[in-house]
Amino acid sequence: MKPAPKKNLRVDNLGEFGLIRQLQGVIGPARGSVVVGIGDDCAVMRGGHPDKYLLYTCDPVVEGVHYRRSDPPRRIGWKAMARNLSDIAAMGGKPNWAVVSIGLRRDTRAGWVKELYAGLRAAARKFDCQIVGGDTTHVKHEQFVVVALVGEVERTRMTSRDGARVGDSILVTGKLGGSRRGKHLTFTPRVNEARWLVGNFPVHAMIDLSDGLFSDLQRLVEASRPGTAFEIHAAEIPIARAARGSLTAALRDGEDFELLFTIDPREVTALRKKWARRFALELTEIGRVVRSRRKVTIITVNGSRKPLAPAGYDHFATS
């Protein structure tokens, strides 16, 4: 006999992935004008424009989870906007309009809120995006900022998580790890780089690194055709200075907000050349898309192949 399903599992037993999968069941499949529903960096819809898709994303920042109470409000605002801009970038899109909802304790200074908005606006303005509304509520304990962002992307350039092809090269922008030591509040979302990439090269699949390279590789694999797998060279992973030489930190720390994408290996030489002329940011080839049952394999410095145990950032994991 099959064991009875446990009705009252806690969210930390389910994990973030498990919970979202259950929610997906409640919401039902995407239909009508929805091109991509749950499962990518943004939802993708057919709007009024015949050549473009609308992109829609919504990420919160919560006091004590995504920032500390003592962090400068301008940086908190920057981060709240930039996380969302990063998800638009991951689809190859251009961010256009944002609404912002905030939860404030009653004794919060008006000056703090104005600084928060200066940060939100600075990040939005950098990419020609406008804040067009929102909502305000009071909270009893932790404050929060929720940004919802609408962007657009040319239909032919839209880059989802599910397009990785066996044989593709896997590339990553910037350097990874140690973001919690400061960069997580000041990072630049890779909107310009993503727009340039999708405008100049056929990018097959793309994701922004929000939960750590390993965890986000897993997401890309999960979204890919069955049998598609990734092989990553440990020696190639670009480690940020803040990660202090730790490969583990580069693999597992969250909030890098760099781009991870796959492209035909024959494009890589031209891409590197053109990229170097356009951007100072690092661009590194870290591995290949292969056909394998083992989803993510890491090739160590001495050439041995090891599976990576799943353990990126999960909002409900307790360890």
Binding site for ligand ADP (CB under 6 A): 20, 23, 38-41, 59, 87, 210, 219
For Mg ion, the binding residue among 208, 211, 253, 258 (CB under 5 A) is: 208
For Mg ion, the binding residue among 87, 168, 253, 258 (CB under 5 A) is: 87
For Mg ion, the binding residue among 19, 36, 40, 41 (CB under 5 A) is: 41
Residues 228, 289: contact at Cβ < 8 Å? yes
Nearest to ligand ADP of 40, 193 (CB atom): 40
Nearest to ligand ADP of 219, 288 (CB atom): 219
Instruction: Give the SS3 label for residue 309.
Output: coil
The residues facing 9 across adjacent strands are: none
Other CB atoms within a 10 A radius of the CB of residue 8 amount to: 5
- Which tokens belong to 43? 């939802």
Q: Which phi and psi angles does 53 have, rounded to 5°? A: -105, 150
Q: Shortest gap between Cβ of 109 and Mg ion (angstroms)?
A: 32
Q: Shortest gap between Cβ of 87 and Mg ion (angstroms)?
A: 4
Q: Shortest gap between Cβ of 278 and ligand ADP (angstroms)?
A: 25
CA nearest 198: which of 162, 168, 165, 156?
A: 156
Q: Shortest gap between Cβ of 38 and ligand ADP (angstroms)?
A: 4
* Alpha helices (runs of H) in 99-212, residue ranges in sequence order: 110-126, 191-200
Name every residue whose Cβ is closer than 8 Å to that of residue 4 and which is 6 or more positions away in sequence.
Answer: none
Other CB atoms within a 10 A radius of the CB of residue 14 amount to: 16
Q: Shortest gap between Cβ of 163 and ligand ADP (angstroms)?
A: 16
Nearest to ligand ADP of 259, 271 (CB atom): 259
Nearest to ligand ADP of 43, 308 (CB atom): 43
Report the interface residues with Mg ion, using CB under 5 A.
41, 87, 208, 210
